[in-house]
A and B are shown apart, each in its own frame.
Chain A
Amino acid sequence: MKNFERQQSPAKNTYGSDSGIIDLKPLLEECMGDVDMLKELIGLYKKNILEFIGKAKIHIANQDYERLQFATHKLKCSLLLLKTEDLFSIVEKMHCICVDQEGVDKLTVLYQSFLDSYPLIEGVIDEQFFNLISDE
Chain B
Amino acid sequence: MVQKKLLLAEDDELLASLLTFRLEKGGYKVCLSRDGKAVKEHLSREMPDIIVSDIMMPYFSGIELIDFVRNELKSNVPIIIISSAGNEENVLSAFELGANDFISKPVSPSELLVRVARELNKM
Contacts and interface: CB of A to CB of B under 8 A. Distances in A.
Interface of A: 30-32, 34, 37, 40-41, 44-45, 47-48, 70, 73-74, 76-78, 80-81
B56 A44 contact: no
B4 interface: no
B56 A78 contact: no
Contacts of A31: 18, 21
Contact of B17 (A44, A70, A73, A77): A44
Contacts of A70: 56
Interface string B11-52: 111110110011001000000000000000000000000000
A32 B113 CA distance: 14
Contact of A74 (B11, B106, B109): B11
A77 B15 contact: yes
Question: What secondary structure prevails in chain A residues at the interface with B?
Answer: helix
A33 to B, nearest CB: 11
A106 to B, nearest CB: 19
B84 interface: yes
A13 B109 CA distance: 29
B13 A47 contact: yes
A62 to B, nearest CB: 19
Nearest to A80: B106
Given A30-B110, A76-B105, A81-B106, A45 B25 contact: no
Given A77-B105, A81-B106, 12 more contacts: A30-B108, A41-B14, A44-B13, A47-B13, A74-B12, A76-B84, A77-B14, A77-B106, A77-B107, A78-B15, A81-B15, A81-B18
A97 to B, nearest CB: 14
A129 B56 CA distance: 31
Nearest to B22: A30
Contacts of B110: 30
A74 B84 CA distance: 9
